[in-house]
Amino acid sequence: MSSTRAELIEQVLNAGRLLSTETVMFHTAIADTVGLSPVETKTIDYLERLGAQTPKELARNSGLAPASVTALIDRLERKGIVRRGPHPEDRRKVLVELCRERLAALGPQWESLLSGLVELCERYSDDQLRSIVEFITESAEITHQTTAKLTGQ
């Protein structure tokens, strides 16, 4: 029996909700094991993927309010995870960068998940993987835009 388009879309949305929930729970568990909040671990992810950023860039990328980002940076700095430094092109700005030596505790937490995902990817063709990447990337952008609307960014 084949599913209608509406049923398939509903299945995609439900699968997305399931993945979102499980991802939040995974990040919460990782954060708890190393004494960070989930928002702190995701901020680390932004800095790891995008490199050093100004607080304003972090606010824009995360969708968090600038005051929240300042408090977040303060907490991460106290924990030795980030440091503020002068911007190389504009002395009026500050750059927030990771203290990589402190991130070693997070690495092993990811190994099981990443190896399982790599194994899962092996079940799909290159074309299927390209479609998955496109869908996830565009879904993330829609989510980011929606977050920005909610936070007034």
3-state per-residue secondary structure call for 84-132: EEECCCCCCCEEEEECHHHHHHCHHHHHHHHHHHHHHHCCCCHHHHHHH
Architecture field, domain 5-151: Orthogonal Bundle (1.10)
Which residues does residue 94 pair with via DSSP β-bridges, in sequence order? 86
Neighbours of 95 (CB within 10 A): 19
According to the model, what pLDDT value does residue 91 have?
85
Q: What is the pLDDT of residues 24-83, one digit of tens each?
A: 899 899 888 888 898 898 899 899 999 999 999 999 888 888 889 999 999 999 989 999
Q: What is the pLDDT of residues 140-152, one digit of tens each?
A: 999 988 988 887 7
H helix or E strand, kind and range, residue 133: helix 126-151
